[in-house]
Every structure is written in structure tokens, then in C-alpha cells.
Amino acid sequence: MIKIMKYEEVLAEEIFARANPTADVADVVRDIVADVRKNGDRALYAYAEKFDKAVLSSLEVTEEEIEEAFSAVAPRFLEILREAAENIRIFHRAQKKNSFIINEKPGVIIGQKVIPIEKVGLYVPGGTAAYPSTVLMDSIPAKIAGCREICIVTPPNKEGKVNPVILAAAKIAGVDRIFKIGGAQAVAALAYGTESVPKVDKIVGPGNAFVAEAKRQVFGVVAIDMIAGPSEILVVADGKSNPKFVAADLLSQAEHDKNASAVLVTDSLSLAQEVSFELEKQIPLLPRAEIARASIDNNGKIIVADSLSVVIDIANAIAPEHLELCVDNPFDYLDGIKHAGSIFMGRYCPEALGDYYAGPNHTLPTGGTARFSNPLSVDDFVKKTQYSYYTEDALRAVAEDVAFFAHMEGLDAHAKSATVRFEEEK
């Protein structure tokens, strides 16, 4: 049963389960990464057989497999995927930034170029559930950014096939290549390249502890988006909230995995008790009841505070991945929320809207990192370079100032490089 406590009884950093889930697998992952780096495709085939129980004839999904999968997916779901994809495109197109140029002083031009990352790899989990939503959320921003090649890695089933809904989502999103590999070995393949898998410049996407640790270990060889921890939801709700709705929203994250955290913060003890009762009614009805039960019992909490202003302070201290504002006039509280991955406003905006359909990204900072990190966006798939241009007269006008600055730092060669061009004039 979920714990109910007063806010004075718990520290913010203890509200969500935030232990490092990758520490225990670091050595195993290090061996896998080294094996893939040394043996390439041969290691990937061996790991597919060992971990996925799949004997593969090739690592890459063929066009025929994609077409076969597309025809196997229910037409209604294909239409929903297309609608969700368009919502995601609309939101992420607004994020796109342009290069700029500044020419405000005579003879001086400075500017910045925004350049797409050339090759990106997207990890899409398999395991206990298939996530076509992750395909859309990770690949569409990359496509909008203009990345030249977008590759997906995802585990196959025992027959060596990728879940059809993953392939359908990839086709709708415009993914270039798909590989039947998962786990740490997939991350290693993307980071170092193999005979079949291209070396990419950045790896994004969620995964289990092995995937997260592999991303940690290859960071620096490639860029990564973040080290994602277990899923989190924090529901802020007042006494007028429907306990059935609140309980359902908490369980929408608790069913992800046993390490997920679902927390309600409210100013109403009555609501807290009613939500606890609702959770006990709803959990047994879930197909993933065992997972949700473990999450709620081990990591779930209901925190009762004295007022909504204190509730908002608690939310900011926690900096959750997902934050629901189940209150009247939620926009009155929006400016007060300083730290959250994604905010869901009002009594009819469940977090599941964000997972699938609304448009904002669902790859979000966890573990309190919303204090300084961002949701996945188009910005994650571009890099910036800057440039300067000075004419002879423009440099002559500032050369002595540049040299003076350089001398202050004890860097005489820096100074000389600015003044040497004009020595003969003296």
C-alpha cells in the first residue's frame, strides 16, 4: 500500500528512488563494449543469440520486412501514429533555430552557423513492451534538424523479427536504417561502428540499466542525450480533484517498471486517503499489476502539505520528470514551477497524452536533473559553430587593445599575432 506522510517527514531527495541503477552492471557492460569494439558484427550475432535467443541471418532490417510489418499493423493504429507524428512535428518545428550574422561595426562580421549532426543513433527499447512512441519522439526532431542519417537499434524477438509497430512508426517518421540489436552491444555498435552498423555522432533514447551504463561509458567517443533513470510522475492535486483520475495517473507510470516512482503531493488529507483506496481498487485490474504493485509499494508516496503554495515548493524541490497540475486555473501556477521535465495542465491532461499524442517530447530528464536539463528537442540534433571576419582597418583599430588584453594574461605570442601585421607602419 502507498505511504501517506506529512511533508515534514520526508526530504525532497528521498521522495523518488534515485539510486544509481547502473553501478552493478558497469563491469559487464565494459566487457561487452570492448568485445563489440574488437569483434564487430561477430560479437553482435553472438549477443543476439545469447540475450535475445535469436539466430539472425542479417543485422539490418530489410525494406521487405518493413513493408510486411506495415501491412500487418491495424489501419486504425497507423492512422493514430500518423496523427501523433504530425502533432510532434508541429511542436518540434517551432523549436528550430536559424543561423545568424551580425554586421554592426565597420569591417566586422561575426556570426553563428547551426549545423545538423550528420549521423544519429536512436535506441528503442524492446523487452517487456514495445514503444513506437519512442520511435516518433526521438526520430522526428532529428529529421526536422536535418540529420543526414538516422539509425534505429532495437532488440529482435526469438524469431529474429522486430515488433511490427516499431517498424511502422519508423517508416512514418522517415528513419533511414533499422538494426536488430539491443542492450549495451547496440550502444557499442553505434559508438564504434561495425561491418554492418555505421558509427554515429550521437546516441539518444531510453533503455535499461545496461543501455544507460553503455551510454555513460561511450560518452566522449560519441555524444549522448542523457542517462535516463526510472520513470517518475509527481501529481499536484487539490481537494477538488477526482481520486479515481489521480490514482489512474499515478499508475500510468507505476506500470512502467518496478523501479518507477509515482508520487502525489496535495493539500488535502481526505484526497490522500481516497487516492490510496483507489489505488488498491485499480492495481489488481491491471495486466501489469505485479509491476505496478511493486512500484507503488516500494517507491510510491502521498505527501500532504498545508497549502498549495507549499505543494508547489515541494514540486520544485523534487524536480520531477513528469508533473501534473490537477488544479483549477493551472496557468496561475505555471510560472511558479521552476523545475520539471514536462508539465501537464489541468484535470483533463493526463501524462499519457504526452507519452503518445500531444506533441511535446516524452524523452525527459529524470532523477532531479530537470533542475538543469531539458526534454529531448531539435537542439539535441544540431551543433553550432561560430565565425569572425575583420578587415585590415577593423583589426588595426583594435590590435593594441587585443595585445594589451593578451599581455594581461601573460600570453605574448597572442599579443604579437594581433600587432605583427602593422609593425612596418611604425
| 321 in catalytic set | yes
Asked if residue 342 lies in contact with residue 364, where contact means CB atoms within 8 angstroms, the answer is yes
Of 92, 57, 47, residue with least CA distance to 378: 92
In three-state form (DSSP H/G/I as H, E/B as E, the rest C), the secondary structure along the chain is CCEEEEHHHCCHHHCCCCCCCCHHHHHHHHHHHHHHHHHCHHHHHHHHHHHCCCCCCCCECCHHHHHHHHHHCCHHHHHHHHHHHHHHHHHHHCCCCCCEEECCCCCEEEEEEEEECCEEEEECCCCCCCCHHHHHHHHHHHHHHCCCEEEEECCCCCCCCCCHHHHHHHHHHCCCEEECCCHHHHHHHHHHCCCCCCCCCEEECCCCHHHHHHHHHHECCEEECCCCCCCEEEEEECCCCCHHHHHHHHHHHHCCCCCCEEEEEECCHHHHHHHHHHHHHHHHHCCCHHHHHHHHHHHCEEEECCCHHHHHHHHHHHCCCEEEEECCCCHHHHCCCCCCCEEEECCCCCHHHHHHCCCCCCCCCCCCHHHCCCCCCHHHHEEEEEEEEECHHHHHHHHHHHHHHHHHCCCHHHHHHHHHHHHHHC
Beta-sheet strand order (sheet of 100-102): 100-102, 108-116, 382-390
Question: Which residue(s) pair with 5 in the sheet?
Answer: 303
Phi, psi of 267 (to 5 degrees): -100, 10
Retrieve residue 134's grid coordinates.
519512442
Annotated catalytic residue within 321, 324, 339, 362: 321
| 322 in catalytic set | yes
Annotated catalytic residue within 92, 256, 322, 339: 322
Of 294, 346, 338, residue with least CA distance to 320: 338
Residues with a known catalytic role: 321-322
